[in-house]
Structure 1
Amino acid sequence: MIVMIKGNVGYPITLDPTVWIFDDRKIELEKAFIEREVNKDSESIFQKPPVNRSISKMEGEEYLKNSYVIPLHDFLNNAEPKANAKEAEFIKNNGKNEKISLEDAKNGYLLFSQKGKPLCEDGPVHFYYKDGSNQDNPIKHIKEIHIH
């Protein structure tokens, strides 16, 4: 259930989507594609560091009911793509890899929790474009993100 980011980067990194449920940067799937009333809200998502705090019982119950995405932006920036990097290739468990622009990847979301459960069958993560254009058909079966 891990996802690697590697390739044309300064630092290959390993992601563990199972811990993102506790990350304050997560967004409910249903709310991810709704235009923010204030554009600053969407920018602040990328600037807010995760907070390791206790969760209430009510929050815990909500986590077990909802589906969540997390912005891919911070993870890609932490890997430090090289100046000539232009694409992100999603290496998939089913062998049908898909390439998108690095910019689209940086602006997108990774679904890591569907109705409170990890994506065991077609995960570990799914990719959604920021504009929600592939909301009905996300990129699934992603096991690695290779930067070219």
Structure 2
Amino acid sequence: MSPIILITGNVTYQINLDPTIWIVDERRFDMGSRFPGIDGLGISFAPFLANAEPAPDATQVILHRRGKETVTLTMAEAKEAIFQFAREGKPIHPDGPALLFLADGSNRDQPIDFIEKIEVV
């Protein structure tokens, strides 16, 4: 399992995300502050997506998952999503390297796991 998540597709810049280094990112926060009862550390997906510079006509984000079906989000859902990159003080394993939570918390009991690639379309 690679700790890297690739952002690719209809973007200006292909981005390699390494959740193992987010522990030192000052934008990180306690997951419990956004989703009461959820332990761990999180970070917003929006800045990473913005750095990839999606094309103006991009409308969706497809999450490719190791050994599982893809999940498609609208661009708006993706911009509001939260990555959980650590729980109980450790990297997300074996279902990581990061879990994706929708901002409205609707998937808090089943976050999107096993993410390998994020394709902007």
* Aligned equivalents of 2:64, 2:90: Cα separation in 1: 22
Q: Aligned to 2:82, which of 109, 117, 122?
A: 109
Q: How does 1:64-75 map to 2 (within 5 A)?
A: 67-75=40-48
Q: Read off the aligned partner of 2:33 and give its amino acid letter.
A: K
Question: What runs of 5+ residues in structure 2 fail to find an aligned partner?
Answer: none
| Corresponding letter in the other structure for 2:26 | D
Q: In 2, Cα distance between the equivalents of 1:79 and 1:73?
A: 10
Runs of 4+ in 1 over 2 A off after TM superposition: none
Q: How high is the sequence identity, in percent, across the aligned residues? A: 36
User: Within 5 Å, which residues of 2 pair with 1:12-51?
Assistant: 12-33=14-35
User: Which structure dedicates a bigger proportion of its chain to strand?
Assistant: 2
In the aligned structure 2, how far is the partner of 1:68 from the partner of 1:118? Answer: 10
CA RMSD of aligned residues (A): 1.1
Kindly state the Cα deviation for residue 114 of structure 1 after the two structures are TM-superposed.
1.2
Greater per-residue helix proportion = 1
Q: Which runs of 5+ in 1 are unaligned?
A: 35-65
Whichever of the two has the greater Rg, that structure is 1
Would you say how many aligned residue pairs link Structure 1 and Structure 2?
117
SS at match of 2:68: coil
TM-superposition CA deviations, 1:33-87 (whole Å, max 9, x none): 36xxxxxxxxxxxxxxxxxxxxxxxxxxxxxxx5111000000000000011000
Q: Is contact 1:119-1:125 (8 Å) kept?
A: yes
Normalising by structure 2, report the TM-score: 0.92
